């Protein structure tokens, strides 16, 4: 069975940073509505909307206090209904960000749960007695420190795998699960296009055994969720699964198992950190390893699952700064990343600003950092004796604020994002990098993305074609073919800042589909690739 989400491209919006409509410095739903024509021009088929639910904003909306209300800063439920309707008019679906591993500590469930051990909602969360007067075990939070927070009133600890204001839900409780499914059906009934599921691989946790990801009940829970909510509807469901392998991805996304459409896997996104270190411990990218990861996921998933394809999201630094060149070669390297990714098998995701080549934003002081994860790391490493310069270098390379700076619309004040003071500083390069200029330049990065998105809709080979990697190329070059019903396409991408030589005499070019150096002849038999050069061609 074919699905709409296999032939389209998804665009992620981080609402806080996309477009402010009322001058308070914070992006909002009315702002998104005002930019739907732009997204229609780009050609995307769905918006993955980062959380817009009511939240005290300890973790920028990923700490939800009411799943069925809208964060006041973003608008109200009428605005949300209008966004769904206006997007639908443009053949764009809204995919909601679903956070059900944890809630805010201000959610009504947790407010009740804290009232006492005999409260009906107590068991909606994970509680444990002290061990020898201390935390139940050594589980750590992803945001630094212990994953256990002591509750004075009851003398017990509650689990928080993220911020202490994000208590973990107890999925072993069937009542809790039914409450979650009811909430999901509330949104499905509104006509949304599906769910992106935040850290969904953690819901099967067994904390007393220090098991967090991939617990034994994870897949039964997802099958139950599928049956109770979206299973009989053609919705996109994508799980955020940091530890997924091709084998486990098949468990999630094989249609016969009735779980999810696909998962986000992050193997490629961990290649610039030391193998035994944290995300902040940097190593240069090894392109050979990057290719190996791509090839593994393209070939091993086969027809038993579905791939997600992405370079960026709200948690990751900008790809053009991370693996490319955000200086003189920014445009060609940004186009190379687009071409290399979009011709692979799977559903591509574009993160806001990626389509115009937005870059990381360098900070020089803790006061310039909003992200809770980066701020906690700064304090933790400072206390451990790290030099401030080294800490800031890691944050500038990998900090989440890099992706969250406001969208750069034009060269007016604050990049056209707001008439007020932006909640997070705009990248100062906005006069040179913005949507207005991109739309005016037929050779811009935007039109490369537009072309790739349009091609996917009308070329089954991009969606269903068999993937084969080409091995006989230099380490810095990624080359592969897609084959479908007698057609063959060849994609070549130089991931290096230096030239590379390829010799592929077995292929004859019959048509050029796209290239990021439009004046370069493509010979294949004996060719020198410019830095970050990429192209896709029809071959015989």
**Residues annotated catalytic, as ranges:** 198, 240
Question: Looking at 380-485, which runs of residues are DSSP E strands?
Answer: 466-469, 477-484
Tell which residue, 53, 60, 62, 58, has the closest CA to residue 26: 60
What are the respective helix, strand and coil percentages of the chain, to the nearest 5? 35, 20, 45
Do residues 130 and 81 lie in contact, with contact meaning Cβ atoms separated by under 8 Å? no
| Beta bridge mates, 134 | 131
Scan for tokens 């204001």, then name that residue: 165
CA angle in degrees (0–180, nearest 5) for 414-397-17: 30
75 — alpha (psi -120 to 50), left (phi > 0) or beta? left
CB-side neighbour CA atoms (13 Å) of 127: 21
Do residues 261 and 249 lie in contact, with contact meaning Cβ atoms separated by under 8 Å? no
Within 10 angstroms of residue 475's Cβ, the number of other Cβ atoms is: 14
Q: What are the phi and psi torsion angles at 350 (to 5°)? A: -115, 130
Report the distance separating Cα 236 and Cα 210, nearest Å: 31
End-to-end Cα, the chain, rounded Å: 30
Report the distance separating Cα 45 and Cα 374, nearest Å: 33
Tell which residue, 264, 204, 190, 194, has the closest CA to residue 235: 194
- Helices 246-253 and 287-300, packing angle to 10 deg: 40
């Amino acid at each position: 069975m074919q699905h709409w989400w296999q032939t389209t491209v998804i665009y992620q919006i981080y609402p806080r940073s996309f477009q402010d409509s009322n001058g308070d410095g914070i992006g909002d739903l009315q702002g998104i509505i005002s930019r739907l024509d732009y997204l229609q021009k780009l050609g995307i088929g769905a918006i993955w909307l980062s959380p817009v639910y009511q939240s005290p904003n300890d973790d920028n909306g990923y700490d939800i206090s009411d799943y069925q209300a809208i964060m006041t800063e973003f608008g109200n439920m009428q605005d949300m209904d209008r966004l769904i309707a206006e997007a639908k008019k443009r053949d764009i679906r809204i995919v909601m960000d679903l956070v059900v591993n944890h809630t805010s500590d201000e959610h009504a469930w947790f407010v009740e749960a804290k009232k006492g051990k005999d409260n009906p909602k107590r068991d909606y969360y994970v509680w444990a007695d002290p061990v020898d007067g201390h935390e139940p075990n050594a589980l750590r939070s992803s945001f630094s420190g212990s994953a256990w927070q002591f509750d004075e009133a009851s003398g017990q600890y509650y689990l928080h795998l993220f911020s202490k204001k994000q208590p973990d839900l107890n999925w072993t409780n069937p009542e809790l699960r039914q409450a979650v499914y009811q909430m999901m059906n509330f949104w499905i009934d509104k006509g949304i296009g599906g769910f992106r599921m935040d850290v969904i691989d953690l819901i099967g946790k067994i904390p007393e055994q220090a098991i967090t990801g991939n617990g034994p009940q994870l897949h039964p829970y997802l099958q139950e969720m599928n049956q109770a909510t979206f299973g009989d509807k053609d919705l996109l469901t994508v799980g955020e699964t940091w530890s997924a392998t091709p084998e486990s991805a098949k468990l999630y996304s094989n249609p016969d198992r009735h779980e999810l459409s696909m998962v986000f896997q992050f193997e490629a996104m961990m290649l610039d950190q030391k193998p035994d270190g944290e995300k902040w411990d940097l190593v240069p990218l090894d392109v050979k390893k990057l290719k190996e990861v791509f090839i593994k996921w393209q070939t091993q998933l086969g027809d038993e699952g579905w791939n997600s394809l992405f370079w960026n999201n709200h948690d990751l630094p900008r790809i053009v700064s991370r693996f490319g060149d955000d200086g003189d070669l920014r445009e060609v390297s940004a186009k190379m990343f687009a071409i290399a990714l979009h011709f692979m098998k799977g559903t591509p995701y574009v993160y806001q600003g990626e389509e115009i080549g937005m870059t990381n934003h360098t900070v020089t002081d803790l006061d310039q950092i909003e992200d809770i994860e980066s701020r906690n790391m700064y304090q933790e490493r400072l206390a451990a004796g790290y030099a401030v310069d080294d800490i800031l270098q890691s944050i500038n390379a990998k900090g989440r604020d890099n992706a969250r700076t406001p969208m750069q619309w034009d060269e007016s004040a604050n990049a056209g994002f707001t008439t007020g003071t932006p909640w997070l500083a705009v990248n100062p390069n906005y006069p040179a990098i913005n949507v207005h200029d991109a739309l005016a330049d037929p050779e811009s990065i935007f039109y490369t993305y537009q072309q790739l998105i349009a091609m996917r809709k009308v070329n089954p080979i991009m969606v269903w074609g068999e993937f084969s990697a080409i091995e006989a190329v230099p380490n810095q070059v990624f080359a592969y073919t897609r084959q479908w019903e007698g057609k063959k396409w060849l994609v070549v991408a130089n991931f290096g800042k230096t030239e590379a030589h390829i010799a592929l005499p077995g292929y004859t070019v019959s048509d050029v589909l796209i290239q990021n150096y439009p004046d370069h002849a493509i010979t294949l038999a004996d060719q020198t690739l410019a830095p970050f050069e990429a192209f896709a061609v029809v071959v015989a």
